[in-house]
Amino acid sequence: MGLGGNVGDVLSNMAGALTYLDRHPDIRLVSVSPVYKTPPWGITEQDWFHNACAELETALTPDELLEQCLGAEKNLKRIRKERWGPRNIDLDILIFGVLEVAHENLTIPHPRMHERIFVLKPLADLVPDLPINGRAVREWLADLDDEPLEQIVLEENWVSERG
């Protein structure tokens, strides 16, 4: 899962979203990447984003997990104004094991994750050899090495301390 935001206390919002999901009886937070600060994508006249990836284990279906992600965003008062615009929290299901999903409101694997350093860098911290479209995450990341990215130094258990 990818998560991020650029409005308000984003780190607390990300931790709160992960805590919300982890409290569900059929979802377990396995690991979380470091957090990175990256320039906005799409609409560039806004603050930089904080981004991370998390690995979850779940007994839910992809659609049920999406429902829980939307519930976490709603719980944190996410307001959807414009695509690629400012937001206090954003949760994206990037992959779901080997499943492929093509619904109106959900596409897995995420169709543009291999183009975005703000997804690839934290994902590479968790699963560098994960195949996406026939190439490992680390290989896709190597194509984007010249894009701006800044790691945020946080305490190791930042999720439990903030969530």
Which range of residues forms the domain containing residue 87? 2-153
The catalytically annotated residue of 9, 47, 80, 90 is 90
Classify the C-alpha dihedral 113-7-79-86 as positive or negative.
negative
How far is it, in rounded angstroms, from Cα 57 to Cα 71?
A: 18
Domain harbouring 115, CATH code: 3.30.70.560
pLDDT digits (tens, 9 = 90+) for 78-122: 887 777 778 999 999 999 998 999 998 999 999 999 999 999 999
The answer to the question of residue 140 being in a domain is yes
Tally the domains of the chain: 1
**Does the active-site annotation cover 78?**
yes
**Does the active-site annotation cover 125?**
no
**Does the active-site annotation cover 22?**
no
**Does the active-site annotation cover 112?**
no
pLDDT digits (tens, 9 = 90+) for 8-45: 999 999 999 999 999 999 999 999 999 999 998 778 88
The answer to the question of residue 6 being in a domain is yes
The catalytically annotated residue of 92, 135, 138, 162 is 92
CB-based contacts of 136, cutoff 8 Å, min separation 6? 128, 129, 130
The answer to the question of residue 9 being in a domain is yes
The catalytically annotated residue of 23, 28, 80, 87 is 87
The answer to the question of residue 147 being in a domain is yes
- Tell me if 11 sits within 8 A of 162, measured CB to CB: yes
The answer to the question of residue 158 being in a domain is no
